[in-house]
């Protein structure tokens, strides 16, 4: 069936179903077929994925339209006649260059408006009149600022302005009580760390406006060090050796144990927050909830059981899947007790850059080299020197204290209770 036949078939099907919904997406159309002009009952029109550069002036005659989608077209102009579509609730436009956009402030029933990649140098002033607007997408436009009047769009639940050129945010954003989804990724001049951008709206705005007060911020100088490996490989013993410089045997670690380790990097005092994961298999499924980017990972392996190659593959795959291209140090642990080797070249080929060290907590073998490697890797971690609101740091300490109390209770409770507690957490 040729493209012309497909177009005719879809228009015929639309008429057969009452003429209310027409999907012309993905047909390589250079213009809207004139036959569409006669579908005066049309409520939904999808023109996505075509080659349309201009909407026809008669588009304004389709005055029953409620939803109009012009996604992924090389659109260059939107006619003034679109302002006659008084019933329009959704207008979604994504292009790839500058688009001439008319004043559409008269479309007061609009609930969803997307003007993505249309070359907007500023937020169009007429959007101020769209008081029923709930979702507004302005991604990939060279916008430098958001206007103060954006706080007047009191019904907004979603605001996306990703990959623009925003240099500042108006305080009026904090007055949008219904705003639940705020996307600001790719606006580097705002100074928002990746972790903050993934937070809820109140946390994003709280961070942004606090960080602009020099009296309410300080450099973080902290990083996350995640220690993983199967049970009995010696993770907690290694953490104790790193922090206390002493050897001590420990019983099995339940859940997660967080230890604060002060070290010196380039003459500055820095705190590593060591996350020591319990190695029981039942807990492996919980690791993905805590494996995040912007952290340094230690993977401990032992050669005594003969599973070192499989263990290396398992843990490296887990880290890469859930944390991405983070720095990883693989430790051939309990080295003096049972030396072993890995196919290092193959692991690097499959999982990217990895540092390998042999260590032994009992004999102190390789521990100084490990401390040095951790310091060198930590310097390059994004966010190490980020400025964070003082209040947030106090909150972080409170959370850490809460977790320590929770861990102590878990140690004292029966195994079934511990498992239930972990699953809920």
Could you tell me the CATH number of the domain that includes residue 266? 3.40.50.300
Structural domain count, the chain: 2
- 176 with 44, same domain: the answer is yes
pLDDT at 1: 52
* 77 domain residue, yes or no: yes
What are residue 228's DSSP bridge partners? 299
| Pairing label, strands 268-277, 256-265 | antiparallel
Residue corresponding to tokens 């990972």: 297
- Choosing from 166, 183, 216, the residue where a domain stops is 216
- pLDDT tens per residue across span 138-186: 999 999 999 999 999 999 999 999 999 999 999 999 999 999 999 999 9
* 241 domain residue, yes or no: yes
- pLDDT tens per residue across span 365-385: 999 999 999 999 988 887 665
CB-based contacts of 105-110 (< 8 A; 24+ apart in sequence)? 105/129, 105/130, 107/82, 107/83, 108/132
283 pLDDT higher than 60: no
Give the distance, in angstroms, between the CA of residue 207 and the centroid of all CA atoms in the same chain.
17
- 99 with 195, same domain: the answer is yes
Give the distance, in angstroms, between the CA of residue 269 and the centroid of all CA atoms in the same chain.
30
Global pTM?
A: 0.61
* 264 domain residue, yes or no: yes
- Choosing from 193, 216, 239, the residue where a domain stops is 216
- 174 with 275, same domain: the answer is no
- pLDDT tens per residue across span 9-60: 999 989 888 889 999 999 999 999 999 999 999 999 999 999 999 999 999 9
Return d(Cα 54, Cα 68) in angstroms, integer: 14
- Choosing from 216, 238, 263, the residue where a domain stops is 216
- pLDDT tens per residue across span 348-363: 999 999 999 999 999 9
- 170 with 25, same domain: the answer is yes
- pLDDT tens per residue across span 69-84: 999 999 999 999 999 9
Give the distance, in angstroms, between the CA of residue 271 and the centroid of all CA atoms in the same chain.
25
pLDDT at 57: 95
- 193 with 235, same domain: the answer is no
Residue corresponding to tokens 């957490």: 425
Q: How far is CA 374 from CA 212, 297, 318, in A?
A: 32, 9, 21
- Quote the domain boundaries for residue 159: 3-216
Phi, psi at 70, each rounded to 5°: -125, 70
- 95 with 191, same domain: the answer is yes
Return d(Cα 94, Cα 97) in angstroms, integer: 9
Exposure string for 290-323, b = 16+ CB within 10 A, e = fewer: ebbbbbbbbbbbbbeeeebbebbbbbbebbbeeb
- 105 with 205, same domain: the answer is yes
- 202 with 297, same domain: the answer is no
User: Helix (H, G, I), strand (E, B), or coil: what is residue 234?
Assistant: coil
215 pLDDT higher than 90: no
387 pLDDT higher than 60: no
Range list of H helices, 180-307: 194-197, 201-211, 235-244, 281-284
Exposure string for 324-358, b = 16+ CB within 10 A, e = fewer: eebbbbbbbbbbeeeebebeeeebeeebeebbbbb
**CATH code (residue 67):** 3.80.10.10
């Amino acid at each position: 069936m040729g493209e012309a036949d497909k177009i005719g078939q879809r228009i015929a099907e639309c008429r057969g179903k009452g003429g209310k919904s027409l999907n012309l997406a993905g047909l390589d159309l250079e213009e809207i077929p004139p036959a569409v002009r006669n579908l005066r009952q049309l409520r939904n029109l999808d023109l996505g994925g075509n080659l349309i550069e201009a909407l026809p002036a008669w588009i304004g005659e389709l005055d029953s339209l409620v939803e109009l989608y012009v996604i992924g077209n090389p659109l260059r102009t939107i006619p003034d006649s679109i302002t006659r579509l008084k019933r329009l609730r959704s207008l979604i436009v994504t292009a790839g260059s500058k688009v001439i956009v008319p004043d559409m402030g008269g479309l007061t029933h609009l609930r969803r408006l997307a003007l993505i990649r249309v070359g907007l140098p500023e937020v169009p002033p007429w959007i101020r009149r769209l008081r029923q607007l709930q979702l507004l997408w302005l991604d990939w436009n060279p916008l430098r600022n958001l206007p103060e009047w954006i706080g007047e769009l009191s019904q907004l639940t979603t605001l996306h302005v990703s990959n623009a050129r925003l240099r500042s945010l108006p305080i009026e954003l904090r007055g949008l009580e219904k705003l639940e989804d705020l996307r600001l990724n790719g606006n580097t001049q705002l100074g928002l760390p990746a972790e903050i951008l993934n937070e809820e709206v109140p946390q994003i705005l709280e961070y942004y406006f606090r960080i602009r007060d020099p009296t309410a911020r300080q450099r973080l100088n902290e990083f996350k060090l995640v220690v993983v490996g199967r049970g009995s490989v010696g993770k907690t013993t290694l953490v104790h050796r790193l922090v206390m410089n002493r050897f001590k045997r420990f019983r099995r670690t339940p859940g997660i144990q967080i230890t604060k380790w002060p070290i010196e990097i380039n003459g500055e005092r820095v705190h590593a927050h060591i996350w020591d994961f319990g190695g029981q298999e039942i807990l492996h499924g919980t690791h993905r909830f805590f494996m995040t980017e912007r952290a340094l990972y230690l993977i401990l392996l032992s050669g005594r059981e003969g599973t070192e190659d499989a263990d290396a593959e398992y843990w490296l795959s887990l880290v890469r899947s859930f944390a991405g291209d983070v720095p990883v140090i693989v430790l051939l642990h309990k080295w003096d007790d049972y030396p072993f080797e890995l196919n290092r070249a193959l692991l690097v080929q499959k999982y990217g850059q990895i540092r390998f060290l042999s260590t032994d907590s009992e004999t102190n073998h390789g521990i100084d080299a490990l401390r040095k490697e951790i310091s060198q890797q930590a310097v390059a971690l994004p966010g190490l020197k980020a400025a964070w609101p003082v209040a947030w740091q106090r909150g972080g300490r409170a959370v850490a204290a809460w977790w320590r109390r929770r861990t102590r209770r878990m140690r004292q409770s029966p195994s079934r209770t511990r498992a239930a507690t972990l699953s809920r957490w």
